[in-house]
Amino acid sequence: MPLKTIQAWKNLPPEARGASVALGNFDGVHRGHQQVIAQAAKAALADKTSLGVVSFDPHPRRLFRPTEPAFKLMTHAQQARALAGLGVDVFYLLPFDFEMASYGDREFVEKVLVQGLGVKHVAVGFDISFGRGRTGSAELMKAYGEEYGFTVSVAEPVGGQGDEKFSSTGVRDALRDGHPEQAAAILGRPFAIEGVVRRGQQLGRQLGFPTANVEVEDYVVPKLGVYATRTRLPDGREVPGVANLGNNPTTGIVETRLETWLFDFDEDLYGQIIETDLVAFLRPELKFDSLELMIEQIHRDEQAARAIVAPAF
């Protein structure tokens, strides 16, 4: 049964209520988030309910600090696919507006979770905060569960080597530092940029390496430079390649975008949605004194990327 996305919490029909849910922002659906969702899945199985995930649009940080740089790790479409892969039945993508932001922790539980969604179980992370002023906590959610008649589970911290727990902040830091493999270790998969292929200057095509250009838009901006990549096409094929993430300082400054040269591929992708994994950081973005020097470097980048993402070629 495909995942259903519900973008409301008021006046829901009976069949959209009564789930066992995981509560959080789940930007990245990383390995820590997956533990919270697994707790909700156990309850859903035991209670014979649907499995839901409750998140918010926009992210609360965007509402309160709208001028901050972009920071998202996924689009909603990517988020929905990741949740579906974990067996989630319902994705409650709730509108986070100034009304919801005004609710204290008790009001949020009573109005949204109980009266709105009719939850049977709520799974949260150990460091959850909710309600106006972020006054709600995991312990408080347990107390509200006893009061309002739903069960609560709390996922313990999950981390890699050392004491650092998996977090969306850790993913962003790794990407900004040019370490996509560290981001992938937290996410459980490579970080990927998805978007519509736009027409660029078409200089790459003229020079022998046509690129598929995608705007970065609301994503966190990883370290600018050249990456070994894998790109998923709308028909499901995966194509290795090499991409420049940046502003094109050699051929004319543009808005930050991902320009991916798909190896051994020559098909029209304009207007289609593709998703590109950043597999390995190869070098920073450079400004070249001539197109000839740039072309020489691109072919060196090609060889380095092929060794990583297309070793059979």
**pLDDT tens digits, residue range 170-185?**
999 999 999 999 999 9
Percent of the chain with pLDDT over 90: 79
Report the C-alpha gap between 113 and 116 in whole angstroms.
Answer: 6
Which pLDDT tens digit goes with each residue over 75-132? 999 999 999 999 999 999 999 999 999 999 999 999 999 999 999 999 999 999 999 9
Residue 285 exposed, middle or buried by CB count within 10 Å (0-12, 13-18, 19+): middle
Q: Is 1 in a helix, a strand, or coil? A: coil
Report the C-alpha gap between 92 and 189 in whole angstroms.
Answer: 23
Report the C-alpha gap between 142 and 124 in whole angstroms.
Answer: 10
Q: Kindly report the backbone phi and psi dihedral angles of residue 238, in degrees, each rounded to the nearest multiple of 5, phi listed first.
A: -115, 130
pLDDT at 249 over 80: no
31-47 helix and 180-187 helix, angle to the nearest 10 degrees: 10
Q: Rounded to 5 degrees, what angle do the CA atoms 118, 121, 127 make?
A: 115
Report the C-alpha gap between 80 and 90 in whole angstroms.
Answer: 9
Average pLDDT of the segment spanning 262-280? 96
Q: Which residues are catalytic?
A: 259
Where do the domains of the chain lie, and which CATH numbers do they carry? 4-155 (3.40.50.620), 180-309 (2.40.30.30)
Tokens at residue 91, please?
């994705």
Predicted local confidence at residue 225, as pLDDT: 97
CA distances from 30 to 79, 175, 190, 198, 296 (A): 10, 14, 11, 29, 38
